[in-house]
Structure 1
């Protein structure tokens, strides 16, 4: 069994691998979530009609490389956030805190463990998510949506944010991130663990078959999209908004204010803007990250066994 420190590292590396492939979908998702911000449906120009149109539009106007905007902070975010999230969750599993007195997986305990792990990950990775979102939203004026920041890259952006808001300015919007990752993590990790356990017990596949984590990941991805998308929209809005001269948000004062304004201006469907992009991004990202995570842990165990045998 990997040590606690190794669990954090393996979790981060696994999701970095997934992020490398899914970052273009994250760019598309961010643009679609910012489109028509605080405007009623039908009252704004839709630069991005759907996922495929958004891919084409961004590549045509901003250039093909624009689909990888924010990749550097995105990978750092994956390393820190998911390293802390998956590492914390696995540590709780290793301690037996997700099982009941009979030694069986307890779904409520798995949900609580996933939520706690997500909260830890969100706090650790928040500054990287902040700059990632702002870089991904920046585009040519012809297809611009949301507030347009002037960052040239991750380091430049972090310096500007720090100079404007100080140390705590780097954690602006973290309240939404905590809700987003806590809900998403609880849905993802508990569903993944429960489904994986069910598949193994039913003997549908061999215990060591890669089809076990792939199947569990696909089901987990659906749960994540359903439960996390509204919090994802709020998180994107809070992270991307500009600041006034006093360092206050131009549109929202915080999580609750953002929730109420989106509900009043855009209606309930406003919380599911970019839902299709979220699914296209979250489903493969969930599958890739959890499969990579599962396989890196097996690889590490095999390497460890080879040295001790």
Structure 2
């Protein structure tokens, strides 16, 4: 891969997030509703994906479905550019290949996770702001702690003035754990699924092949990642004191423990269906857009430079 490939990978993910951000908004709010409350003891303004989207539009307007889009775009660009860079360099240096030249499943998962965690760390401030803006809603349908950011820049300035540089990376640990699982599963399973479908002759069209492989990979990501996603959202959205310490959760283990004690196992899978309906299309769209961008570059940009 060239440097332009990494940029195109980030751009492809940005294109995907424009279409999946409304699902992410619903996911965040479903994860926050009934926070630390026993099941059946709280009002649920968001019952399912379709009803939640309608609720948001009716109470907060159509544009509310794209809240947090700016930090979401920044997060995806940084995450995927770094992730593809790490993975591709490992591939080119021969770290992923078995002796017979095939791609090792476990090495693919390791370097996928390594790239994902590295990208997540650098992009952590954007994910935090994204989660906080996703949660912002009018009073009638508000859930979780309500931050008062008016824009991404306003959020960046507020966090810096309140907690300094370190405030941008609070709760980075649960986010790294979440990405470790998601990236290893996603990047480890996508090429395997693609190769299997192609070798079996079940899917041969390039775009459809990417779609089916991405769908398979995204499904596995949703199942494995839901509990960590819930914890990440809670940790990023909770209020903090002047020293940046969480007022609801002391840390990753405390967050897991409190959710399980008060909300049960069900609490760890709040927002599962939005996670699923976002993960599968997002993975699929990212890879499809990436391959299309590579095609356009090779057909139109490279010939211009040669001439």
TM (norm. structure 2) is 0.95
Residue of structure 1 equivalent to 2:171: 173
Task: Name the counterpart of 1:124.
Answer: 122
Is 2:207 the counterpart of 1:215? no
**Matching of residue 159 in structure 1 with residue 164 in structure 2:** no
Q: Which contiguous aligned blocks of 4+ residues in structure 1 show a shift greater than 6 angstroms? A: none
Give the corresponding residue for 1:144. Answer: 142
8 A contact 1:11–1:84 mirrored in 2: no
1:172-202 deviations in Å (ceiling 9; x for gaps) = 1110110111100111111101111222323
Contact kept? 1:115, 1:183, Cα under 8 Å = yes
Q: Are 2:57 and 2:65, in contact at CA under 8 Å, matched by a contact in 1?
A: yes
Q: In structure 2, the residue corresponding to 1:210 is in which secondary structure?
A: helix
Displacement after TM superposition at 1:141 (Å) = 1.1
1:250 aligns with 2:264: no
Q: Does the 8 Å CA contact 1:8/1:88 hold for their aligned counterparts?
A: no
Structure 2: 5+ residue stretches without partners: none
Q: Does 1:105 align with 2:117?
A: no
**Mapped contact 2:175–2:232 kept (Cα < 8 A):** yes
- Residues 101, 308 of structure 1: CA spacing in aligned structure 2 closer, same or farther, 3 A cutoff? farther
Give the drift of 1:102: 1.2
Pick closer, same or farther for the CA change 1:298–1:90 going to 2, 3 Å: farther
- Which residue of structure 1 lines up, in the alignment, with residue 272 of structure 2? 275
Partner residue, 1:289: 286
- 1:104-162 per-position Cα deviation (integer Å, ceiling 9, x unaligned): 11111111111111111110110001111111101111111110011101000110011
In angstroms, what is the RMSD of aligned CA positions? 1.6
> 1:108 & 1:303 partners in 2: Cα distance?
37
Residue in structure 1 matching 2:132, options 128, 131, 134: 134
Which structure 1 segments of 5+ residues have no match?
Answer: none
The 1:94–1:212 alpha-carbon spacing in structure 2 relative to 1, beyond 3 Å, is: farther
The 3 A distance-change label for structure 1 pair 246 and 209 is closer
Distance 2:137 2:302 in 1: 50
How many pairs does the alignment contain? Answer: 306
Specify whether residues 297 and 88 from structure 1 end up closer, same or farther in structure 2 by C-alpha distance, changes over 3 A only. farther
In 2, Cα distance between the equivalents of 1:240 and 1:228?
A: 18
Q: Measure how far apart 1:203 and its partner are.
A: 3.4
Residue 244 of structure 1: CA displacement? 2.4
| TM-score of the aligned structures, taking structure 1 as reference length | 0.95
2:232 pairs with 1:235? yes
Displacement of 1:246: 3.9
Kindly provide the CA deviation profile for residues 184-230 of structure 1, in whole angstroms up to 9, marking residues without a partner as x. 01111111011112223233344x62111111101011011011111
